[in-house]
């Protein structure tokens, strides 16, 4: 509990006593993106200290990993960031494939990259709609969900799932892409690209939104590095880091090569507005990457999208850390195997965990009214915090 102090202000012969107040925001509050609790100490309307209290959604995923085989753990890993399910799957299967020394068919590599970028668009559109809603603007979320539905339809067609796709398998993908699906992806991407300016027009240059976000919640690069903040939040503070370019996996080495459609979006202001701008521009980049993947898949000859696996899959003894650039930041799995069909240890490093902890540095000194704007601009998923 924070230390309470009393301030005596002389008014004539009497005195007005005021004390710091402890305010709990959450764990059930519209501004907390789920079951998160913020314990704030206030001096009037100004925040003195802030402590994120987590764990209300903790389900022990890392221990559950240890009693599931390598086919089953993909189901569990799928769920911690429910807006980035396909990306969550990738980290697991890429790590297992690397330890097995397994080479995945080229068509599966490009299909995985395409699906990862479509999932990234879905993730970003959710926050592009929900963040203005938290600031009092209700209209953008309707437009964001309209565009999400275009992408959601093709993701559901290929995988059978709307949120938890379970389309990755060790060695490739569950099955081949449906006939005509690439054409429907092209149409969906073109539709979203054509209509996205409607959503942008409500955000870019909006005086009310700028008034609530510009210069608010500034996060400096040094603090980003101290707390391990990553993804769009870090890049909005000028930290130019993206694993798709810096440590390429899947087909990103080719896509982010010179002359390719891939580029890393950054800003330097580090405030709430910069974080929103990065998210918006990244959506355009992901649409470019998706188009490039579709074009490449059309050029590839027909062939397998997975490797045949033994009935009982055992990973050789050893350990490996596999990191991917999830929509919300760095997502890492440290897999330790003792040669069995289940992991001996599978440690998850989720993006949202570090991105939320930095609130202890960002919120002190700000007004309670700005707390919601700052909290929303961190673009986190509580399941990704609690695991």
CB atoms within 10 A of CB 6: 9
Alpha carbons within 13 A on the beta-carbon side of 72: 13
CB 387 within 8 A of CB 348: yes
Read off the pLDDT of residues 82-119 as tens digits, 9 standing for 90 and up: 899 999 999 999 999 999 999 999 999 999 999 999 99
pLDDT of residue 33: 66
Rounded-to-integer distance, Cα 20 and Cα 85, Å: 42
CATH 1.10.645.10: does it fit domain 61-385? yes
Mean pLDDT for back-to-back runs of 10 residues, the chain (387 residues): 41 58 80 80 92 89 92 90 93 96 96 98 96 91 96 96 92 95 97 95 90 95 96 97 97 95 96 96 97 97 93 94 96 96 95 94 93 93 89
DSSP 34: B
Torsion over CA: 315, 344, 357, 56 (sign): positive
DSSP calls for 219-277: --HHHHHHHT--THHHHTTT----HHHHS--TTHHHHTSTTSS------SS-SHHHHHH
Q: Which of 204, 203, 208 is nearest to 141 (CA)?
A: 203
Backbone dihedral angles phi then psi of residue 25, each to the nearest 5 degrees: -105, 110
CB 333 within 8 A of CB 77: yes
Tokens linked to 183: 């054409």
pTM (predicted TM-score): 0.92
pLDDT of residue 35: 85
CB 115 within 8 A of CB 108: no
pLDDT of residue 19: 78
Instruction: Supply angle C-alpha 127, 279, 116, rounded to 5.
Output: 85
pLDDT of residue 29: 65
Domain ranges of the chain: 20-53, 61-385
pLDDT of residue 244: 97
DSSP 350: -
Type and span of the H or E element at 169:
strand 168-169
pLDDT of residue 8: 38
In 3-state terms, what secondary structure has residue 215? coil
Instruction: Supply angle C-alpha 323, 325, 329, rounded to 5.
Output: 105
pLDDT of residue 10: 39
Computed over its alpha carbons, how large is the radius of gyration of the chain?
A: 23
């Amino acid at each position: 509990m924070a230390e309470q102090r009393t301030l005596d202000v002389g008014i004539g012969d009497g005195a007005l006593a005021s004390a710091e107040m402890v305010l709990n925001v959450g764990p059930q509050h519209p501004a907390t993106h789920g079951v998160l609790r913020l314990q704030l100490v206030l001096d009037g309307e100004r925040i003195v200290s802030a402590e994120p209290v987590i764990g209300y959604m903790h389900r022990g995923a890392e221990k559950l990993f240890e009693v599931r085989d390598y086919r089953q753990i993909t189901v569990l890993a799928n769920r911690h960031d429910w807006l980035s399910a396909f990306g969550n799957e990738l980290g697991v299967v890429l790590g297992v494939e690397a330890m097995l020394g397994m080479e995945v068919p080229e068509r599966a590599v490009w299909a995985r990259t395409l699906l990862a970028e479509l999932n990234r668009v879905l993730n970003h559109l959710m926050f592009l709609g929900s963040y203005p809603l938290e600031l009092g603007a209700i209209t953008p979320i309707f437009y964001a969900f309209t565009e999400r539905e275009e992408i959601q339809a093709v993701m559901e067609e290929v995988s059978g799932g709307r949120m938890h796709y379970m389309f990755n398998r060790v060695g490739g993908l569950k099955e081949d892409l449906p006939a005509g699906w690439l054409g429907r992806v092209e149409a969906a991407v073109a539709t979203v690209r054509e209509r996205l300016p409607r959503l942008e027009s409500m955000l870019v240059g909006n005086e009310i939104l700028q008034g609530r976000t510009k210069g608010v919640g500034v996060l400096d690069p040094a603090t980003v590095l101290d707390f391990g903040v990553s993804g769009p939040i870090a890049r909005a503070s000028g930290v130019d880091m993206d694993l798709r370019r810096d440590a390429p996996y899947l087909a990103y080495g080719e896509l982010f090569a010179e002359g390719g459609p891939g580029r890393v979006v950054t800003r330097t202001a580090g405030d709430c507005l910069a974080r929103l701008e990065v998210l918006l521009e990244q959506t355009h980049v992901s649409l470019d990457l998706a188009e490039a993947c579709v074009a490449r898949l059309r050029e590839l000859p027909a062939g397998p999208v997975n490797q045949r696996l033994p009935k009982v899959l055992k990973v050789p003894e050893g350990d490996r850390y596999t990191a991917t650039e999830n929509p919300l930041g760095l997502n890492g799995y440290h897999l330790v195997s003792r040669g069995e069909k289940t992991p001996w240890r599978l440690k998850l490093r989720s993006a949202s965990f570090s991105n939320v902890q930095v609130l202890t540095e960002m919120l002190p000194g700000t007004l309670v009214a700005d707390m919601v704007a700052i909290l929303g601009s961190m673009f986190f998923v509580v399941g990704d915090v609690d695991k």
